[in-house]
Amino acid sequence: MAQITVTTDRVIGQVDRRIFGGFIENEGRAIDGGVYEPGSPFADESGVRTDTRDAIAGLSMPVLRWPGGNFVSAYHWVDGVGPREARPSRWDPAWGAVERNQFGTDEFMTYCADLGTEPYLCFNMGTGTLDEAMAWLEYCNGTEDTHWANLRRQHGREEPYGVTYWGLGNEMWGDFQIGHLTAQEYAAKAKRWALALKRVDPTIQLVACGRDGLQADWDAVVIEALVKYVDWYSMHIYTGSDDHWSNVLQVHQVDRALDYAGALIAGARYRQGVEHPVHITYDEWNTWFATRNDRRRGELVQERHTLSDALAVATYLNIFVRRSDVVKMANLAQVVNVLAPIVTGPDGVLKQAIYHPFAIAAAHTQDLAVDTYVECPSYAHTVEHNDRWKHTVSDLGPFPVLDVAATRSADGTRLVVSVINRDPESEHRISLVLADTALAGNVTVRTISGPHPLATNEWDAPDVVGVQESALDGSGNALELTVGACSYVQIDAPIGAHRD
């Protein structure tokens, strides 16, 4: 029998709700046909699909990043404000499509307000100028009697939006990016922009454009140069394989990247005497393997996420919880239609397999990450299946077949333990032991499972992978239950008196 020991008084980090953020970009059918689709029977008077918005609301995302992504590096925000009929259509060189600019800044802000989520905007550092960026910041946050603040008022918004999070470009390290820069060029440019933007609004928080957190020729250079001037360091990761073990274990590249980038940030702050915190945001992450042709506008084919992908997503979230000392924001890429938990169609929305672990983790994860010790079988991953992503993680193993994270409420009355059984063939009987407290009532168990690792939800079978909820009697300091093969179990328990 496997054993999971939880010590609730041994706090390893404070969980930031922003790790459950999302990301949407003007790409594929994410905006047009996903978020915004005039003429759809589900659209409101502004053209926004309410069924999509309701499905996103079910993910409890506290922050939403837009407009990119690669798209932003040739996006001019002024094209997307004012009367819709007067907005120009522009060629989008990032994704090879026409952008009609019908969903712009004000529409995005309204969308965020309706969801109760904070907006996170990204500046165009490709074809954009500093003057343009300062104008956008003033349009959103300006309070004085000035041209850009007054333009916002003319467009119907009297009060400033008060946008806190602003990204200094997107993936500027890549030669695929419009306006690609070297690390030295980017660092010098981003420093100039940061100093100027903080003069427009000193309350904003700026996000430096990182790579994967592991590159000496980008991450080390940019962190050293910008740690004084930014509040966040962005890292991106995508994983995915048609081999189940590679699919679920590639995610542990995040552990390696956090060790390296976290040390770079800590060292740079120490050497330069930087007092303000600089946290890591994974503002793009997801599984992405099966579909290769989903990157153009108008395509009806999106990534079909599997049960294996759902376990990978759950593993990401467990890592973000366990590393909550350094990761304070993360944004699932993307939310609708492109690599997404939600797919739209003429008859409604389909919730993909990855929707469910994200939804229950976002809804029930508690305030404080606490220590766990797991005794279970392990898996030695010796063959890397990484034809798409060059992640090598076998040296980090052997890996426990059970991946576990635990959180408790600040007042010590509730414990939530997330257990992922990555074993595709065998169930595991587990004993959950509480080292310093006791169960105080009925325990809720939420289980995500399916018939096999490659199981997907489809329009004619939308609940192949879903959530089942059950209850167990809870008393004493231990609980036994069985975790099925290839499944995710969330144990939600009231806890009480501490043991002597």
Residue 500 has pLDDT above 90, yes or no: no
Residue 292 has pLDDT above 80, yes or no: no
Residue 252 has pLDDT above 50, yes or no: yes
Options 284, 303, 425, 480, the catalytic residue: 284
Task: Convert the pLDDT of each residue in 447-470 to its tens digit.
Answer: 999 999 999 999 999 999 999 999
Q: 309: how many CB neighbours lie within 10 A of its CB? A: 31
Grade residue 153 by pLDDT with cuts at 50, 70 and 90.
very high
Q: Which H or E element spans position 312?
A: helix 307-322
103 contacts 35 by C-beta, under 8 angstroms: yes
Torsion 451-455-458-464 (CA) sign: positive
Q: Which residues pair with 495 in a beta bridge?
A: 439
Name the maximum alpha-carbon separation found in the chain: 71
The stretch 468-497 carries a mean pLDDT of: 94
Residue 209 has pLDDT above 60, yes or no: yes
Grade residue 57 by pLDDT with cuts at 50, 70 and 90.
very high
Residues 6+ apart with CB under 8 A from 315: 248, 251, 252, 403, 420, 422
Q: 303: how many CB neighbours lie within 10 A of its CB? A: 24
The stretch 86-96 carries a mean pLDDT of: 95
d(CA 348, CA 334): 18
d(CA 160, CA 143): 6
284 in catalytic set: yes
Task: Convert the pLDDT of each residue in 11-32 to its tens digit.
Answer: 999 999 999 999 999 998 999 9
d(CA 297, CA 310): 26
Residues above pLDDT 70, as percent of the chain: 96
Q: Which residues pair with 351 in a beta bridge?
A: 342
Options 99, 138, 171, 303, the catalytic residue: 171
Residues above pLDDT 90, as percent of the chain: 92
Q: Which H or E element spans position 141?
A: helix 130-141
Grade residue 384 by pLDDT with cuts at 50, 70 and 90.
confident
27 in catalytic set: no
Domains of the chain, start order: 2-9+369-494 (2.60.40.1180), 15-366 (3.20.20.80)
